[in-house]
Structure 1
Amino acid sequence: MEDDTPRGRESISLASVANGLDNRGAELLESLEEGRDPGSNSSPSEVGNSWSKAGPEPSSGWRRRLQPAPRVRHFCREHAQLFQWICIGLLCTAYTAFLLAACILNFQRALALFVLTCVVLVFLAHSLLKRLLGPTLLRCVKPLGHPCLKLWFKRGLALAALLGLVLWLALDTSQRPEQLVSFGGICVFIGLLFALSKHHRAVSWRAVFWGLGLQFVLGLVVIRTEPGFIAFQWLGDQIQIFLSYTESGSSFVFGEALVKDVFAFQVLPIIVFFSCAMSVLYYVGLMQWVIMKISWLMQITMGTTATETLSVAGNIFVSQTEAPLLIRPYLADMTLSEIHVVMTGGYATIAGSLLGAYISFGIDAASLIAASVMAAPCALALSKLVYPEVEESKFRSEEGVKLTYGDAQNLLEAASSGAALSVKVVTNIAANLIAFLAVLDFINAALSWLGNMVDIQGLSFQLICSYILRPVAFLMGVAWEDCSVVAELLGMKLFLNEFVAYQGLSEYKQRRLAGTEEWVGSKKQWISVRAEILTTFALCGFANFSSIGIMLGGLTSMAPQRKSDFSQVVLRALCTGACVSLVNACVAGILYMPRGPAVDCVSLLNTTLNSSSFEVYQCCHQAFQSTSPEFSLEALDNCCRFYNHTICA
């Protein structure tokens, strides 16, 4: 018995050591933070009492040396806000010094950075003034909210807009009468949509006219004013430079030869890169901030609800299935009119990742960006014309409507997730291109076979579309000789997809820039610059029959209980989205103005030409038609090297 007791105590002490071995470091840190000796279970007061009785501990000097660590940590926590402001102040000071140095060295080179800084400062000042003076300004403006004053203000604004439009058409179209055709096209398309409206008497004309007005103002700034045109041209150039960095990654993975020569390795990696960049911008909150500002402007002017406006604003940057994710928690409670707006916004715009692919085709970047931005208010306006609101919405104000920031935990995860999600988009595009181009070739072969039986040569899908949709192209403001080609592209976009149509448009543009003959036999080889711009606007949207399944599948996965409601309005939304792109093209037709310096044909043709171009073709065409002696024999010889004409014989 005497031998058993010590063994029992020994076994207990060994067990306690084994159980506490892993936590010894944690207990040591906790004891130091609480002011206790390591290994002591006493509180600081108990330790003080024991020290007064038993004298100073041998470890007290060591503990006093380590005690400043928790004090420093406590001080940092207590003054964290101050440290944050100090860091922000230092960063702002450094950025200001950098901006000043850049402007002093070369202001023209630093102009873009200076403008971006001014834009950010304006928004920051607006937010600060809104927070400080917002309630005061609301009290001052409240007396002006009298119903009679509001009514007269609306009537005066409507009258001013009508007079301005009449004066614009009278003065501006005197030099370019084709703009009147585009205006007539807008009237025809809007009249057609009103005839197909679900509830004619419930149409909110405020939303319709304000939406069309915002679209016109945006187009006016981008297309007609010099600062707006330069700004969007600069933005398009920067996007092209940004997308060119894709070549570094794709060349490393696939090799330079494939990237330069093969379409799949040249264009599709751009979608991966752009999707990665957009995911990062969503993670940091920049995209949400931009979407909120755009939706706020449309909501206060058009009187639409928060959820539908946020979805349409999001469609400027993301696709038809990604934009509804911004309002996913609210889809179950949205009205049919709001769902129709969500679908129309998806059909009327294109995704930012595909925007990069179309720019890589050679499509004008400024026109693509302008078309995507202008389509947002137009989609809201025409959607409210076709399917007016007759129910009571729960989302009249933005209160309670929050935008999500995604599931990524850090910046690297956001970039990786964006690249991974784009793989599905890339494979979907590749599969659709293979399928649709193969089907198109089969349909053309079948139509040609049937046409040969009745002595109709060259019957094809493109030929049928060129006849059926030619009036639509003409209403957009396209010259009649270009309408057949534009109608073909519109048919490709509607019955196949916009990717195939933009690829066809890029081929026509490349032939024009290369200076190819305009006609080869009875087939037109390229279209005018005006027709290219209007077609770029008209093709900018997902409104094609293959997108019906994509739209229904995406929305049904978010709100399965609304499947029947989605199916009820999807066809009407598809037609509305297609008309939004056409009205967008009509507005561009009203505002389009030829730009660029005039070419000195005499000087150009008198120099040695190594290759043809569009300018060379124009000058040679002018030289062949001219009877004046200003064009020398050398100039005519230069033209005859590239083009056949009777004068060359």
Structure 2
Amino acid sequence: MKFLIAILGLLIVFGLALLGSSDRKKVKIKPIIFMVIIQLILTYLLLNTKFGLVIINSIADGFGKLLEWANEGISFVFGGIANEGAAPFFLNVLLPIVFISALIGILQHFKILPFIMKWIGLLLSKVNGMGKLESYNAVASAIVGQSEVFITLKKQLGAIPPARMYTLCASAMSTVSMSIVGAYMTMIEPKYVVTAIVINMFGGFIIASIINPYTVTDDDDILVVEEGAEKQSFFEMLGEYIMDGFKVAMTVAAMLIGFVALIAGINSLFDMILGISFQEILGYIFAPFAFIMGVPISETVTAGGIMATKLVTNEFVAMLSLGDAAKTLSDRTIGIVSVFLVSFANFSSIGIIAGAVKGLHEKQGNVVARFGLKLLYGATLVSILSAIIVSVII
């Protein structure tokens, strides 16, 4: 039965992507089928084999060690603030972002990350039917983040046509940055975080190639990566990345305070007037999508509410909601919804990406702002597609 639902889900996702396609005649079927097969193989390897278990555990242990080191600095500054045995979200989940951001800066400074991003991107371009630029951008987005990635492309930003700009932005919104992966792993199972990051990359190519098909020639596909390390000393760079990490942590904290309080207030208001919470209403709206993702029908409303929460707020708020509802959900539903949540596909990301691009190139920033809703539409389909792929395997 799960295979029939998965096939139905894939047909609906591809159908919705075709509805939003700018040129249905240019859609290339062969690379799409090939990438879906790659997604299934990678998901099976990561979730259902000893090899995958070793990889997941190694990554989880690695981030666990990073969080331990981060906690040394956090304890030095904030030791004694928390009650004995307490685990405040801000201290344990958000502040480690500062240390991981510093680590990314070091790897960037010594040109280790640019090397990895460039060559993995070139390898991906051989299988996805897209250009080197798009492939590099997908890898880079998953490492440095959805806004920072455009800094690495600023030399050629003004020359990128709107069609390719859409694909670059869609990739950025469909992934997550390495600096907050550790935070995710404290909230949902690491195996689903890693799996989502890997298959979202291919999912972004699949959906973008349907919604926004085009052909790239070798002459058009020049990849110029701005590394920028030579402009700063090591300690200048380190200070900048540490402050950037702190800004990310504080921004997420502020958004959580605002959004969680707002949802609590709206839920209470709806419950008083209609006898049903706002999240439950959203749950009914998104329940059909939860069903085609393979969620058992008895749990689709709850799952749909969590999915909608992510779309209208952000993934952190939704992960908190998933944690609250976990006792009432099956392991299968938790796995499927967890994969759906691991991306930046929400309304606030439209402003973040458009703002980041506009800060580097005003004209291109306006281009991104114009296709903002279409960008979110595509990125949400990527999340649904990834969840469907995982539903076949678990």
TM-score range, shorter chain: over 0.9
Q: What SS is found at the alignment partner of 1:215?
A: helix
Quote how far apart the aligned CAs of 1:382 are.
0.9
Distance in 1 (CA, whole Å) between partners of 2:52 and 2:116 is 18
Aligned counterpart, 1:424: 247
Q: 1:470 is aligned with what amino acid?
A: A
State how 1:33-432 maps to structure 2 within 5 Å. 177-258=1-82, 260-361=86-187, 363-389=188-214, 395-398=220-223, 401-406=224-229, 409-432=232-255
Q: Deviations over 1:291-341 (max 9, x none)?
A: 123211221122312222211111121221011222121111112221111
Matched, 1:436 2:253: no
Q: 1:210 to 1:407 in 2, by over 3 A?
A: farther
Q: 1:578 to 1:269 in 2, by over 3 A?
A: same
Q: Deviations over 1:263-308 (max 9, x none)?
A: 2222221111111111111122222222123211221122312222
Matched, 1:508 2:325: yes
Aligned counterpart, 1:559: 361
Aligned counterpart, 2:337: 535
Distance in 1 (CA, whole Å) between partners of 2:109 and 2:308 is 38
Quote how far apart the aligned CAs of 1:409 are.
4.1
Quote how far apart the aligned CAs of 1:487 are.
0.9
Q: Deviations over 1:390-428 (max 9, x none)?
A: 687853254xx2351535645444333211111221221
Distance in 1 (CA, whole Å) between partners of 2:296 and 2:210 is 29
Q: 1:282–1:406: 8 Å Cα contact kept in structure 2?
A: yes
Q: 1:210–1:381: 8 Å Cα contact kept in structure 2?
A: no
Q: 1:418 to 1:563 in 2, by over 3 A?
A: closer
Distance in 1 (CA, whole Å) between partners of 2:34 and 2:372 is 25
Aligned counterpart, 1:58: none
Distance in 1 (CA, whole Å) between partners of 2:315 and 2:43 is 22
Q: 1:534–1:589: 8 Å Cα contact kept in structure 2?
A: yes
Aligned counterpart, 1:586: 388
Distance in 2 (CA, whole Å) between partners of 1:407 and 1:204 is 41
Q: 1:308–1:339: 8 Å Cα contact kept in structure 2?
A: no
Q: 1:179–1:591: 8 Å Cα contact kept in structure 2?
A: no
Q: 2:358–2:366: 8 Å Cα contact kept in structure 1?
A: no
Q: 2:211 is aligned with what amino acid?
A: V
Query: With structure 2 as the length reference, what TM-score do the two structures score?
Result: 0.93
Q: 1:283–1:408: 8 Å Cα contact kept in structure 2?
A: no
Q: What SS is found at the alignment partner of 1:258?
A: coil
Aligned counterpart, 2:350: 548
CA RMSD across the alignment: 2.0
Q: 1:312–1:323: 8 Å Cα contact kept in structure 2?
A: no
Q: 2:23–2:213: 8 Å Cα contact kept in structure 1?
A: yes
Quote how far apart the aligned CAs of 1:238 are.
2.4
Q: 1:389 is aligned with what amino acid?
A: Y
Distance in 1 (CA, whole Å) between partners of 2:97 and 2:271 is 36
Q: 1:442 is aligned with what amino acid?
A: G
Quote how far apart the aligned CAs of 1:225 are.
2.7
Quote how far apart the aligned CAs of 1:565 are.
1.8
Distance in 1 (CA, whole Å) between partners of 2:2 and 2:215 is 39
Q: 1:206–1:302: 8 Å Cα contact kept in structure 2?
A: no
Aligned counterpart, 2:291: 474
| Structure 1 gap ranges (5+) | 1-176, 452-456, 513-525, 593-649
Distance in 2 (CA, whole Å) between partners of 1:481 and 1:540 is 23
Quote how far apart the aligned CAs of 1:213 are.
3.2
State how 1:478-493 maps to structure 2 within 5 Å. 478-493=295-310
Q: 2:378 is aligned with what amino acid?
A: T
Aligned counterpart, 1:450: 273
Q: What SS is found at the alignment partner of 1:442?
A: helix
Q: 1:394 to 1:557 in 2, by over 3 A?
A: farther
Q: 1:315–1:346: 8 Å Cα contact kept in structure 2?
A: yes
Quote how far apart the aligned CAs of 1:205 are.
2.7
Would you say how many aligned residue pairs link Structure 1 and Structure 2?
392
Q: 2:17 is aligned with what amino acid?
A: L
Query: With structure 1 as the length reference, what TM-score do the two structures score?
Result: 0.58
Distance in 1 (CA, whole Å) between partners of 2:6 and 2:159 is 39
Quote how far apart the aligned CAs of 1:224 are.
2.6
Q: 1:316–1:373: 8 Å Cα contact kept in structure 2?
A: no
Aligned counterpart, 1:495: 312
Q: 2:359–2:365: 8 Å Cα contact kept in structure 1?
A: no
Q: 1:345 is aligned with what amino acid?
A: S
Q: 2:18 is aligned with what amino acid?
A: F
Q: What SS is found at the alignment partner of 2:146?
A: coil
Q: Deviations over 1:34-57 (max 9, x none)?
A: xxxxxxxxxxxxxxxxxxxxxxxx
Q: 1:310–1:326: 8 Å Cα contact kept in structure 2?
A: no
Q: What SS is found at the alignment partner of 1:302?
A: coil
Quote how far apart the aligned CAs of 1:506 are.
2.5
Q: 2:357 is aligned with what amino acid?
A: L
| Structure 2 gap ranges (5+) | none
Distance in 2 (CA, whole Å) between partners of 1:246 and 1:270 is 5
Distance in 2 (CA, whole Å) between partners of 1:556 and 1:383 is 22
Q: 2:355–2:365: 8 Å Cα contact kept in structure 1?
A: no
Q: 2:43 is aligned with what amino acid?
A: G
Q: 2:312–2:347: 8 Å Cα contact kept in structure 1?
A: yes
Quote how far apart the aligned CAs of 1:587 are.
0.6
Q: 1:298–1:377: 8 Å Cα contact kept in structure 2?
A: no
Q: 2:198 is aligned with what amino acid?
A: V
User: Which deviates more, 210-219 or 180-189?
Assistant: 210-219
**Which of 1 and 2 has greater Rg?**
1
Q: 1:575 to 1:438 in 2, by over 3 A?
A: same
Q: 2:130–2:216: 8 Å Cα contact kept in structure 1?
A: no
Q: 1:552 is aligned with what amino acid?
A: A
Q: 2:209 is aligned with what amino acid?
A: K
Q: 1:590 to 1:405 in 2, by over 3 A?
A: farther
Greater relative contact order structure (CA < 8 Å, 6+ sep): 2
Distance in 1 (CA, whole Å) between partners of 2:120 and 2:357 is 23
Distance in 2 (CA, whole Å) between partners of 1:319 and 1:402 is 15
